[in-house]
Structure 1
Amino acid sequence: MDKVVASAADAVADIADGASLAVGGFGLCGVPSVLIRALHEQGAGDLRIVSNNCGLDGRGLGQLLAAGRIARAMGSYVGENKEFARQYLAGEIEVELMPQGTLAERLRAGGAGIPAFYTPAGVGTLVAEGGLPWRYAADGSVEIASPPKEVREFGGRPYVLEEAITTDFALVRAAKGDRHGNLVFDKAARNFNPLCATAGRVTLAEVEELVEPGELDPDAVHLPGVFVQRVVALTPEQAADKPIERRTISAPPARGTVRS
């Protein structure tokens, strides 16, 4: 039952070229940066990534992008990663974009063993009708486009059929975890992490604080250990490394201004 491995390098050692990975996080919040760094050092390439976005330039999944190690990405937006946008428009990477809620539900369905589901999101658009650019050619034309999807009416309203997502591996980050793999996520870091963890056949979790079995209140556990196969305990320095995607502060009040 003890799922703790000695290091992040040991945890990612068997991720091979061409593997598919569901990666938790949103922007830079809740991103399993230590596992991603270990995978970058391990050298696997031609990876198929499922993640809300691909981090920032040089941060999170941006490290794998910069090294040319991602062949295909599924997510809800390109975000502010300039290298991601460049590779996509240059035809160097295949990208399947979808509504954010659809991505979340496709991962949840995969983890729950549901092969597909109907949703109204995307009806009447290229999401349902097909034609979204998945890969561009060198001349800027569309080399691979999304196929049309089944649309069916329920109660007089059209819905599009979306297939579930499962992956070979999942990489997630938690605030706390025990040796059995039970995980607790902190605030907004509980974004795509639980969903990705359930969708992966082998789930790797880096935890900021490792506790012994029985120390976590069962009612506080966000993800049961049955979904986790490997746990990596972070050092205090690794746990504290939480960069801010965009730092925004308000302007200081003018001298002599009285706040209400």
Structure 2
Amino acid sequence: MSKVYNSTAEAVRDIRDGSTLIVGGFGLCGIPENLIQALVEQRTRDLTVVSNNCGVDDWGLGLLLAAKQIRKMVSSYVGENKAFERQYLSGELEVELVPQGTLAERIRAGGAGIPGFYTPTGVGTVVADGKEHKDFDGRTYLLEKAITGDFALVKAWKADTLGNLVFRKTSRNFNPIAAAAGRITIAEAEEIVPAGTLDPDSIHTPGVYVQRVVQGTGYQKRIERLTVRSI
């Protein structure tokens, strides 16, 4: 049965106020920009968003932030977004900072059905506040809980009509683990092909994890921070 939706607006229509979203991408690489824009236009509010970062002021998740549609952000890096800083300092935005490897593993564990795991990362820092500590072989570890989302939004290079996904190079980043951790996973793709077209050995996310696929358009290859050398 085809999982292809006619539009991004249709694909995100049942994302309600207060939903928890896991969003793939790293910086501006591999972000589901069409799905994000559809949410901006839908004006869904009070969202909890789990993603490596929150984009920049005028692109990616930064668009949702600028429209004050995000209530809480769970991420590992927030340094490229002035709106993020303003909203956090004013108390409008709740923030949970998570070490990047821990964030990736919390999402992966959620997709794998593992409720929690122990890690040494963060021991002795504010990251450890309020968390269970346990010693293994003379070393202290923290208990970290898995993350799942009501929805996961991911961006693929190619998808087939059954929801099998292929990610291109570094845009693979958080997308495969995000796709597995959503109760409903929505994938936008640069190209959608008939079922059976993709080489099974090249599929990164099997269609069993994906409920909806939509064609993406108008992709922008933005550079998050441009550094040039003087001549």
Deviations 1:163-215 (A, max 9, x none): 00001001000111100101011111111111111111000000001111111
Deviations 1:70-92 (A, max 9, x none): 00010001121011111111111
Q: Secondary structure at the match of 2:156?
A: strand
Point out the structure with max Rg over C-alpha. 1
The CA deviation at 1:251 is 3.6
Q: In structure 2, give the amino acid aligned to 1:241.
A: Q
Q: In structure 2, give the amino acid aligned to 1:207.
A: A
> Is 1:60 matched up with 2:60?
yes
Q: 1: CA distance between counterparts of 2:39 and 2:52?
A: 19
**Structure 1 consecutive aligned stretches of length 4 or more whose deviation exceeds 6 Å:** none
> Is 1:241 matched up with 2:229?
no
Paired residue for 1:134? none
Q: 1: CA distance between counterparts of 2:180 and 2:229?
A: 39
Q: 2: CA distance between counterparts of 1:126 and 1:241?
A: 37
The CA deviation at 1:58 is 1.6
Q: Secondary structure at the match of 2:150?
A: strand
Paired residue for 1:20? 20
> Is 1:217 matched up with 2:199?
yes
Q: In structure 2, give the amino acid aligned to 1:226.
A: V
Scaled by the length of structure 2, the TM-score of the pair is: 0.98
The CA deviation at 1:126 is 1.1
How many positions carry a matched residue from both structures? 231
Paired residue for 2:104? 104
The CA deviation at 1:242 is 2.1
Structure 2: runs of 5 or more not aligned: none
The CA deviation at 1:155 is 1.0
Q: In structure 2, give the amino acid aligned to 1:248.
A: T
Q: In structure 2, give the amino acid aligned to 1:230.
A: R
Structure 1: runs of 5 or more not aligned: 131-147, 253-260
Scaled by the length of structure 1, the TM-score of the pair is: 0.87
Q: In structure 1, give the amino acid aligned to 2:135.
A: E
> Is 1:192 matched up with 2:174?
yes
Q: 1: CA distance between counterparts of 2:190 and 2:135?
A: 46
Paired residue for 2:152? 170
Q: 2: CA distance between counterparts of 1:3 and 1:79?
A: 37
The aligned runs of 1:1-260 (5 Å cut-off) are: 1-128=1-128, 130=129, 148-235=130-217, 238=218, 240-252=219-231
Deviations 1:206-230 (A, max 9, x none): 0001111111111100100111000
